[in-house]
A and B are shown apart, each in its own frame.
Chain A
Amino acid sequence: MPQIKDHYLARAMKKILDPSRVIEDDLERTIYSCDSSFLSAQSRYLPDIVLLPRSTREVSEIMIFAFENSIPVTPRGAGSGETCGCVPAKGGIVMDLSTWNTVEEVDAQNMQAMVRPGVVHSRLNEHLGRFGLFFPPDPGSTRMCTIGGMVANNSSGMRAVKYGTTEQYILGLEVVLPSGEIIITGGKNCRSLKNVSGINLTKLFVGSEGTLGVITQIRLRVWPRPRARGIAMASFDKLEQAPVAVLDVYKAGILPSGIEILDQSAIRAINLYRPEINLPSCEAILLFEVDGNPASVHWEGEQIAEIMRKQPARVEWSTDPQRMAALWQGRSVVAAAAARLRPDGTRVFAGEDICIPLNKVAESLRIIKSLGEEYQIQVVAYGHIGDGNIHTALVINPDNPDEVDRLGKLVDKIHRLAIDLGGTTTGEHGVGMVRSAYSLLEHGNTLEQMRIVKTALDPKGIMNPGKIY
């Protein structure tokens, strides 16, 4: 960090924030060097100071100081990201926004809510539930990630097939720019549900991964909670049958709220972790979730079951809340449960988020499987097959340097495969540090245009440097 003495920085910050919200201790700062990416486990990017602001004024004053003194600033939510996004690549200030977690308003009549960035996704939905409402994007990290982090990463999840990604639900934002200036985007200060007045700056900040400014307030669009849900589980003897079955469901004019795939090793991992879920042993399982009113749910469930049987696949249809919760939970724990496949190993988040055109999903799964064999690394595949977003959980022993080396090569192959097949290296987790090497490959000369936008808003390059561009 240039020219500025640590104690001077701490003293200045304690004039802006209550000293209890200024963290200088070495060890505590070291703890802030990680998110859930494998890269962050292997390296130590330490902040010089960690701040816990709780007002727009505080954030603005911090940014003014950082701007004047050219100090890097990295916003942080819950640190559940998988890209080193919230990790301070160039030191400086980490702004932990997770304690600024108020749901300021639920305007049920106008189907919207206003929140501060640190609200945890599942707590927001608990709160909205009291009004019969919900915020539809639903990441697997619902119990940890913050709304600020979701906006910054444009997160989505298991129900993106029907409900889309975070950006569709952001009516407007309050953002503190790197200079400390506070701006309002879109409909942040109005209550209309549509707004095309002016250039859409909201969309610029959604998915900007903390590189353009600090998001300090969010006006969200919320939806009525569906009255009924059902889950159809189809099990296949051949992995290749599953992607075909997904396309058949779409062809029949049915749009499930979620379509998830589990490959053979994912099934095994879940059964090891929660034997009571008792998934059938086979090459692939598809979980179709449908929601809506009871009659439509019933009808769509029957239709899906019929289409599956023709594949042929075995089908279990359930509207029993307990069974549905168990199946859905099975899917959501697989990210971590994958580590169960190897007593001396762990699941690492690297090369985990490719998104492939629907008609290439089967091919990609086959190639990834053989790549895993080539590099002798256990690959557990699962994910949001309904939109081609495949999560590949790689299970390694991180203490073995040879395995770590092979992992790096495999991850690179997976990322390049995604681009070759006409997809992307990341469907929902983002670029951060871990995928910035592919930015040029994915965007060509548009990357330069992105840099121009970045420089216009952040001329000194202090906002989350070392990411994306």
Chain B
Amino acid sequence: MSLLEDNVMGEYLKKCVRCGQCRYVCPVLEVAGKESASPRGKVFLAGLLQRGEVKPGPQADRILSLCLTCGACAAECPSGLPVDTIIKSARNLSASVHPHSPHRIMQRSLFSKLRTLEKFPGFMPLLRYAMAREYGLKPGSPARSVLPVITSPKRRKPRIRVGYFLGCATNYILPGIARSVVGVLTHLGCEVVIPPTSHCCGIPLVTAGEAEAAARLLEINRRSFKSFKLDAVVTDCSSCSFHLTDVGLYSVNSQPVYEFSEFLVSALNPDKPHGPLSGAAVACHSPCHFRHGRKLSRQIRQIIDIIPGIKVVDIPGGNSCCGGGGTFSLTHRSLSDDILQRYTGRIKSAGIQKLVTVCPSCIMQISRGLRSQEIPVCHPAEMLHASYRLPG
């Protein structure tokens, strides 16, 4: 849901009965403990801000920042409040009052101007250095610089023409995922188009309450995709899929912007690969925007299940938020680490050799938590790519 107008927000806020049921599912509350970290507390604060009882400012920002925008609370709320959207909209209230604070300018510039920044000679080396330090990852060249705008299937006529929304984290940090996505989709008969002028989907900006900057990106993205005739749009990242479906990137009969595994299951019905992957017990992690945002559930597993040699194992206690939340893991490192450790503790106890998920940001965060265990975290496209024995 895109950010709320003031009056709509007021109507929602009225419906909060302060029952506290949302407390049950909030990963931040679980580690922070205090009521101001709970969804209810932040909704209460949003009400104070909306009614002018409290002025926007650093104090309110600090409380509102205690949120991963995972959406678990919204799925839980019996009164039907879109709690995460309310929190983002409250951040927007604050952003519109203090638009020129240094961190806001920095955040806005970073995500609005990534495509310009990438042209600076120092950008990629700096990113590589930061990623190697933080996650032990060594990103190669950005995916866009090595993948063609249009890739057609080799031996047959395309069944379908697909726009590939290439997310930022995949492009710059995990480009191998993009190669696998293009490889698998073309193997399954799609012609894949990566519009050259597409940008960041805008979710980091919406999350930060930067509604206007996000709207500008959306316009750029709409134009980029409109210039191609496409049957569907697919992305490798469940957060991009959630956000772009929500705001309506490119609606062909209001189709969603498909998440990769969703697209395979619902549109392509992929054939069983022949290449077994060596004896791996694998668990699937469903990212929050996959589960709560897009309300998807079994698609990742359905894809992994067709790969020979793989045994899918449940994570004891089920799926949880990994604590990444985009920039949350940088701004609230200690809380983020606590959330991550609780989760990786359970993942380790599953006795798996690999974890698979559909969000590059989750891949980075969970990799950080599982680094010492040597349990790699990968995207289903990479596993299919390997199992189909595709080149590259």
Task: With A32-B35, A52-B34, A98-B33 as known contacts, state yes or no: A78 contacts B20, CB within 8 Å.
Answer: yes
Find out whether the CB atom of A25 lies under 8 angstroms from the CB atom of B54.
no
Contact pick for A27, options B14, B18, B45, CB 8 Å: B45
Chain A residues with Cβ under 8 A from B36's Cβ?
A: 23, 25, 27-28, 31
Can you name the residue of chain B whose Cβ is closest to the Cβ of A33?
B44
The reply to whether A26 and B24 contact each other, CB–CB distance below 8 Å, is no
Q: Which residue of A lies closest to B317 (CB)?
A: A126
A48 CB–B CB distance under 8 Å: no
Q: How far is the CA of A271 from the CA of B144 in the complex (A)?
A: 49
Whether A79 is near chain B, meaning CB under 8 Å from some CB there, is yes
Q: Which residues of B in the span 11-42 have a Cβ within 8 Å of any Cβ on A?
A: 11, 14-21, 23-24, 33-36, 40-41
> For the side of the interface on A, what is the size category?
35 or more
- Given A78-B20, A80-B20, verify A27-B79 contact (CB < 8 Å): no
Instruction: Give the complex CA separation of A31 and B36 in angstroms.
Output: 6
A398 to B54 CA separation, bound complex (whole angstroms): 19
Q: How far is the CA of A336 from the CA of B63 in the complex (A)?
A: 26
Out of B16, B21, B54, which one reaches A144, CB within 8 Å? B21
From B60, which residue of chain A is reached at the shortest CB distance? A27
Contacts of B33 in A (CB 8 A): 21, 52, 96, 98-99
CA A34 – CA B13 in complex, angstroms? Answer: 15
Residue pair A349, B20 in contact (C-beta under 8 Å)? no
* A11 to B239 alpha-carbon distance, docked (Å): 44
CB of B80 closer than 8 Å to a CB of A: yes
**Contact residue among B11, B24, B48 (Cβ-Cβ distance under 8 Å from A143):** B24
Q: Which of B14, B35, B77, B78 contacts A79 (CB 8 A)?
A: B35
* Chain B residues, CB < 8 A from A340: 80
User: Which residue of chain B is the closest to A348 with respect to CB atoms?
Assistant: B17
CA distance A273 to B80 in the complex (A): 8
B79 touches A336 (CB 8 A): yes
- In the bound complex, residues from chain B placing their C-beta under 8 Å from that of A141 are 19-21
Evaluate contact between B14 and A36: CB separation under 8 angstroms.
no
- CB of B59 within 8 Å of the partner chain: yes
Interface of chain B, main secondary structure: helix
Q: If A31-B45, A52-B34 touch, does A36 touch B17 (CB 8 Å cutoff)?
A: yes
CA of A27 to CA of B57, assembled, Å: 11
Q: Which of B18, B21, B54, B79 contacts A35 (CB 8 A)?
A: B18
> How near does chain B come to A38, taking the closest CB pair, in angstroms?
9
* Residue pair B45, A96 in contact (C-beta under 8 Å): no
Interface residues of A in 1-43 (CB under 8 A from B): 21, 23, 25-28, 30-32, 34-36, 40-41
- Bound-state CA distance A99–B17 (Å) is 22
B18 contacts A144, C-beta separation under 8 Å: no
Nearest CB of A to B55, in Å:
10
* Shortest CB distance A222–B (Å): 21
Are A347 and B17 interface neighbours, CB within 8 A? yes
* Contact yes or no, B18 A30, CB < 8 A: no
Q: Enumerate A309-344 residues with CB–CB distance to B below 8 Å.
A: 333, 335-337, 339-340, 343-344
Checking A26, A122, A339 against B79 with a beta-carbon cut-off of 8 angstroms, the contacting residue is: A339
Q: Which residues of B contact A344 (CB under 8 A)?
A: 11, 14
Q: Are A36 and B20 in contact (CB under 8 A)?
A: yes
Chain A residues lying within 8 Å of B54, measured Cβ to Cβ, are 27, 30
Residues of A within 8 A of B41 (CB): 31
- Say whether A346 contacts B14, CB under 8 Å: yes
Whether A80 contacts B19 in the complex (CB less than 8 A), given A27-B45, A31-B45, comes out as yes
**Bound form: Cα–Cα A419–B191 in Å:** 75
Among residues 159 to 196 in chain A, which have CB atoms less than 8 Å away from a CB atom of chain B? none
Given contacts A27-B63, A28-B36, contact A79 B80 (CB under 8 A): no
Q: Which of B17, B45, B59 makes the CB contact (< 8 A) with A349?
A: B17
Residue in contact with A346 in the complex, picked from B17, B21, B35, B78, CB distance below 8 Å: B17
How close is B89's CB to chain A, nearest CB, in angstroms?
18
A34 to B11, CA, bound (A): 19
Say yes or no: B20 contacts A333, CB within 8 Å.
no
- Is A120 interfacial (CB-CB < 8 Å)? yes
Q: Can you list 9 A-B contacts (CB < 8 A)?
A: A27-B36, A32-B35, A36-B18, A96-B34, A141-B19, A339-B17, A343-B11, A344-B14, A347-B17
Interface residues of A (CB under 8 A from B): 21, 23, 25-28, 30-32, 34-36, 40-41, 50, 52, 78-80, 96, 98-99, 120, 122, 141, 143-145, 273, 333, 335-337, 339-340, 343-349, 397-399
What are the nearest 3 A-B pairs in CB distance?
A: A336-B78, A99-B33, A144-B20
Beyond the given A25-B59, A35-B18, could you list 15 further A-B residue pairs with CB under 8 A, ordered by the A residue number?
A27-B36, A30-B54, A31-B36, A32-B35, A36-B17, A50-B35, A80-B19, A141-B19, A143-B76, A336-B21, A337-B78, A339-B17, A346-B16, A347-B79, A348-B17
